[in-house]
Amino acid sequence: MKRRTRQQSLVAEINITPFTDVILVLLVIFMITTPLISQSSIKVNLPEASNINPIGKTSQVYITITNEGTIYLGSDLITRKELKEKIKTLKKENSNLGVVLRSDKLVRFKDVVGLLDIFTELEIKNLDIAAISDK
C-alpha cells in the first residue's frame, strides 16, 4: 500500500477573533469608567431627591458650589466673572452645551440663584442639578 504524502499549504490569513474580543472588552471598560471620571473630586453634600433621571448629554460642564460659596468649573477654582466668560466661550464652541450644577445642600439659595442667572443670561438650555437618590 502506497502512502500518499500530502503537503500542507500555508494559511496566510489573520484570525481577528481574539482582536475583536479585546476591543469589545476595552469598550465595555471605557463605558463603565467614563461616568466615574467625569465626576468631580470636590466633596459636596448633595441634596436628596425622590425622582432622579440620569443625565446623558455628550458635551457637559460640571460646576460645583461649596457651602462656603466657592465655585469650581470642573476641578478648577473660579470666580463668577471668570465662570461667565468661560461658559460664554464654551457656548460659542458648542451651542448645545449642557451644564451640571453640583451644589452643597447647605449653600445659600442666593448663591445658587446667582449662578442660575448667569446660565439664563447665557441662554443655557440644558441645565441639570445634581442630587442623590433618597431611595
Domains and CATH numbers, the chain: 40-133 (3.30.420.270)
pTM here is: 0.57
- Residue-by-residue pLDDT tens, the chain, 135 positions: 566 667 777 777 778 888 899 999 999 988 887 766 655 566 666 666 555 555 444 578 889 998 888 999 888 899 999 999 999 998 888 888 889 888 888 888 888 899 999 999 988 888 888 877 665
Can you give the three-state secondary structure of 58-109, one letter per residue? CCEEEEEECCCCCEEECCEEECHHHHHHHHHHHHHHCCCCEEEEEECCCCCH
Phi, psi of 99 (to 5 degrees): -120, 130
* Burial class (CB within 10 angstroms; exposed 0-12, middle 13-18, buried 19+) of 75: exposed
